[in-house]
Amino acid sequence: MEIIMSILAGTLFGTGIYNLLQKQLLRIIIGTVLISNGAHLFILTMGELKRGQPPILREGVTDYVDPLPQALILTSIVISFGVTSLLLVLAYRASKENQTDNMDKMRGNEYE
Amino acid sequence: MIFTVFFPLIIAIVIPFLNRFKKRIHTGVFALVVPLGIFLYFIRFIGEDFQPVSQQVPWIPSLNIMLDFYLDGLSLLFVLLISGIGALVTLYSIYYLHKNEKLGHFYVYLLMFMSAMLGVVLSDNVFVLYSFWELTSISSFLLIGYWNHRERSRYGALKSLLVTVFGGLSMFAGLILLSIITETTSIQEMVLQKEMLLNNDYFPLIMTFLLLGAFTKSAQFPFHIWLPDAMEAPTPVSAYLHSATMVKAGIFLVARFSPILSGSEWFFIVVSIVGIITLCWGSYMAVRQTDLKAILAFSTISQLGMIMAMLGFGTEVAVFAAAFHILNHATFKGSLFMVAGIVDHETGSRDIRKLGGLFTFLPITATLALFGTFSMAGVPLPFLNGFYSKEMFFDSALNLTEGSLTLTTFLRNVIPYLAVFGSIFTFVYSMYLFFGTFTGKGDIGSLPKRPHEAPVGMLVPPAILVVGIILIGLFPNMVNQPFLAHAAEAISGMKLEEKIAFWHGITPPFRMSLTVVGIGTLLFVFRNKWKGIYHAIPGPLSLNRVYDWLLEKTESYSSRMTKGYMNGSISRYVALILTTILLVTFTFMGFTEGFVMDTSNLAEVSTLEISIAIVMIVAAFGTIFSNNNIAAIIILGVVGYGISTLFVIYRAPDLALTQLIVETVTVALFLLCFYHLPKLRKNVDSKRTKIINSAIAISFGTLMTMVAISSHSSKWFEPISEYFIETSEELAGGDNVVNVILVDMRGLDTLFEITVLGIAALGIYGLIRLRNKKEENE
């Protein structure tokens, strides 16, 4: 199962990167969301999947899944949420100010 | 001893504060204390029974870099020059620089240089030596560019920096090689291993690198081009750095390493040839100059060439004469620079074509110049020190050691003639300098200022140097045993007994001197007849053009190259960064055999998970091909909710909950922004871009998959998770281990995470408010 999950994470990365390399702002944001999803899955796969109970301590249970990746991912989810929302507003502002959402047209004067 | 090296630096820190009082007391007065104190400290070492002193303070012990200071005869000679000339120059500068100038800057740079130069000549550790060496280049750069509103100053400063730092870096390479081979960083210990070094395969490289450093610093042909442009510096600086001390650092380096290097015959060949060519070319070019300081600059180049050549000869007489001439050159050239400064200061011009007949206006200055120029010319008079070292130079040129190579034999035959040739022109430019400025008919009326004698303070320093010229000239043996012999001993590594005497009889060197004076006088008198030769040699070709061409080409080429990849397109940058990551990771993982796959410890495969995974993969690809905003967002939502389902299956309830909430809010946010954002369009990139982008994306996805599998398959350490599970209840009193980790064990991380969110929230708020205000204004 870990291998399938690795492939899934890889696919999310790949599609995310492809979107990231596009010119349109919205696509770039979609790309970052995909990449962070891929990263979460990636971290989860690094631990062991489905061995034991959820990491909530209970009487009589000795075998729990690895809580550390979960803690890391939890942090990461929240951070990527912050990043995504900031990016969205930024994209909105940028396209409003510049009258375009094409990255190539936002290069500034010195490259024209 | 260590304190004296850093003493100027310490005072340099204080100078900006003292500069406040410059209306009442010239800042130079404070600076003057430093070299004077150092001079008085070191002068007591002079004596026949002088023994080397060393002192050590650990600096970076782990790299075997110590602040190792070692005072031997050679260092003593230089230390006294640095502090002695330094004191005179500082005194001179008090009268030369007006109080309205940026005195604080000037003295800070000057003191910084003093520290650096003392460090160079006293360091025994090669890396400490190198650090100080570069510091001299930097302070020289700052001092040349002191009048930074002048274009020529900036040009000269940059040129000197580029040339000397190029040499400095190659010297650094040489020093690294040396320290690797000898497994020590101390110069003295390297000298002990010279036999081994001479037979080492890297010896030619070491010699080349070290000599490059020395030649660039000491302005040897063809690297001499920076020195004439360095004359844009204030005259005290030229007298100090670019004639008496810094330019001799290269000489010092050769002298310091000559116990090691001189074992090779190629050392003799390379150093002698470069030295002799520099001597001839410098003196030949000096006659052509019209600016007083330019004449002195080329004259310095040629004199440095002469010292370099003597070090190359390596015979007893030559080494002794080299040490002697280092001292003599500092006295006469220092005084001449100061004289040139006085002339410039009092007449407002340094153009020798306008000057002339100044003897009546500046009688004292002219008298001082008379001694300086005649000593430089090597006129055979018993009270001029320049004659003695020149005589010894001829003597050593006639008695070169024999060698096995044919080139050596050839050089033995040619060098005496070249020595005479160079000295003839030295004689000519010395006469030209003196008689052109002080005698004849000058156009006094056209000068910017009405000439009058300089203030006493400006006359005292050159006068002291001239007294030095005469004293050494009259009693040359006064400096012989107690001083020069130790220096020569440090260079050659053996005890030297040299007698300096004025009259040896009609010896070949004396006949050479007479030839120089004879032909020199003729050439000087009829100089207008043969001046046309400068149109043929060097003519329009000059090394400066090569330098300018190189600089310009480097700039335009690097700008073109940078523009090639920095085209302002962010997606291009991202692609470049990703490609780099790909290349580095694949290479590294490939070389270290990091890619592994272990299928023994895997969870079982279930249909549910596979179906979720397939849905997610399809959705992920869907985002690429969807050209409709709403559709793209919903597809993205599918991926997000898919992940949260996976979290449920993989026993991560907290993650699943968070992901669900976040995903919902994100989709809502996306939908909100949509209204304002332009519609998604079809990807209109060229086919080539598409292929490149897909290639990068696919390889990156593959890489991540491979890394994920490898990291799962290779467990090098026991996971630390057990610790959290065991202690969660006990330490934090919580049942939910993930929560305990977040809020308790890694509480600070979470705090910062909240901070990040807060900043993001502020940013979002700001971005939205910004719009409102603007719209309100409109």
Is B685 in CB contact (< 8 Å) with chain A? yes
Is B678 in Cβ contact with A71 (below 8 Å)? Answer: no
Which residue type sits at A12? L
Is A58 in Cβ contact with B735 (below 8 Å)? Answer: yes
- Interfacial B residues in 616-675 facing A (CB < 8 Å): 616-617, 620-621, 623-624, 629, 632, 636, 639-640, 643, 646-647, 649-655, 658-659, 662, 665-666, 669-670, 673
The pLDDT-based confidence of B669 (bands split at 50, 70, 90) is: confident
Give how far B224 is from chain A: nearest CA, Å: 39
Instruction: Give, for B66, the enclosing helix (H) or strand (E).
Output: strand B65-71
Residue-wise pLDDT for B221-259, tens only, equals: 888 889 888 888 888 888 888 888 889 999 999 999 988
Whether the ω angle into residue B538 lies within 30 degrees of 0, i.e. cis, is yes
Mention every residue, 6+ apart, whose C-beta is less than 8 A from residue B546.
none
Q: What is the dihedral of CA B232, B238, B241, B245, to 10 degrees?
A: 150
- Chain B residue numbers touching A11 (CB-CB < 8 A): 616-617, 620-621, 701
**What backbone phi and psi angles, to 5 degrees, belong to B185?**
-115, 5
Q: Nearest to residue B289, comparing CAs of B227, B222, B215, B217? A: B227
Is residue A112 predicted with pLDDT exceeding 50? no
**Terminal CA-CA length for chain B:** 72
Average per-residue pLDDT in chain B?
Answer: 86
- Higher per-residue pLDDT: B334 or B531: B334
Place of tokens 């495969």: B605
- Chain A residue numbers touching B636 (CB-CB < 8 A): 30, 33-34
Is B652 in Cβ contact with A70 (below 8 Å)? Answer: yes
Is the pTM of the predicted complex or chain greater than 0.90?
Answer: no
Is B577 in CB contact (< 8 Å) with chain A? no
Substitution target from B643, B660, B772 for chain A, most A beta carbons within 10 A: B643
Give the model's pLDDT for residue B776.
59
Substitution target from A88, A103, A112 for chain B, most B beta carbons within 10 A: A88
Angstrom CA distances, B197 to B126, B172, B743, stand at 16, 17, 63
Structure tokens at B190: 């390297």
Which residue type sits at B280? C
Out of A21, A30, A38, closest to residue B704 by CB: A38
The pLDDT-based confidence of B406 (bands split at 50, 70, 90) is: confident
DSSP assignment letter at B263 = T
Helix or strand or coil: residue B183?
Answer: coil
Structure tokens at B148: 């930074």
CATH of domain A2-51+64-103: 1.10.287.3510
Residue-wise pLDDT for B672-705, tens only, equals: 877 777 776 666 778 888 888 899 999 999 999 9
Residue-wise pLDDT for B623-666, tens only, equals: 888 877 788 888 888 999 999 999 988 888 889 999 999 999 98
Substitution target from A65, A86, A107 for chain B, most B beta carbons within 10 A: A86
Mention every residue, 6+ apart, whose C-beta is less than 8 A from residue B649.
A50, B608, B609, B612
ipTM: 0.91
List the single range of B61-70, B156-165, B466-475, B740-749 with lowest mean pLDDT.
Answer: B61-70
Is residue B495 predicted with pLDDT exceeding 70? yes
Give the model's pLDDT for residue B455.
83
Estimate the share of chain B in helix, then strand, then coil, as percent rounded to the nearest 5.
Answer: 75, 5, 20
Helix or strand or coil: residue B164?
Answer: helix
The pLDDT-based confidence of B777 (bands split at 50, 70, 90) is: low
Is B624 in Cβ contact with A79 (below 8 Å)? Answer: no
Give the model's pLDDT for residue B216.
93
Out of B571, B639, B708, closest to residue A21 by CB: B571
DSSP assignment letter at B106 = H
Give the model's pLDDT for residue B120.
92
Out of A51, A73, A88, closest to residue B669 by CB: A88
Mention every residue, 6+ apart, whose C-beta is less than 8 A from residue B363.
B453
**B240 within 8 A of B35, measured Cβ to Cβ:** no
DSSP string of A41-74? HHHHHHS-TT-SB-SB--TT---B--HHHHHHHH
Out of A2, A23, A24, closest to residue B602 by CB: A2
Give how far B776 is from chain A: nearest CA, Å: 15
Summarize the confidence of residues B334-339 as an average pLDDT: 91
Substitution target from A56, A59, A61 for chain B, most B beta carbons within 10 A: A56
Substitution target from B610, B649, B651, B723 for chain A, most A beta carbons within 10 A: B651
Is residue B778 predicted with pLDDT exceeding 70? no
Return the residue of A nearest to B702 by Cα: A10
Distance CA B584, CA B680 (A): 34
Give the model's pLDDT for residue B596.
81
- Higher per-residue pLDDT: B17 or B700: B700
Is B624 in Cβ contact with A15 (below 8 Å)? Answer: yes
DSSP assignment letter at B482 = I
Residue-wise pLDDT for B352-378, tens only, equals: 888 877 888 888 888 889 999 999 888
Distance CA B712, CA A44 (A): 10
- Where along chain B do its domains lie? 266-525, 720-778
Give how far B555 is from chain A: nearest CA, Å: 18
Residue-wise pLDDT for B520-535, tens only, equals: 888 888 877 777 777 7
Angstrom CA distances, B38 to B1, B7, B31, B238, stand at 9, 9, 12, 21
- Interfacial B residues in 133-152 facing A (CB < 8 Å): none
- Higher per-residue pLDDT: A28 or B503: A28
Place of tokens 């020798």: B352
Give the model's pLDDT for residue B632.
85
Give how far B775 is from chain A: nearest CA, Å: 12
Mention every residue, 6+ apart, whose C-beta is less than 8 A from residue B18.
B27, B30
Task: Tell me how many residue pairs between chain A and chain B have CB atoms under 8 A apart.
Answer: 269
Residue-wise pLDDT for B444-474, tens only, equals: 777 777 777 878 888 888 999 999 888 888 8
Summarize the confidence of residues B105-125 as an average pLDDT: 90
Give the model's pLDDT for residue B775.
59
Summarize the confidence of residues B164-171 as an average pLDDT: 93
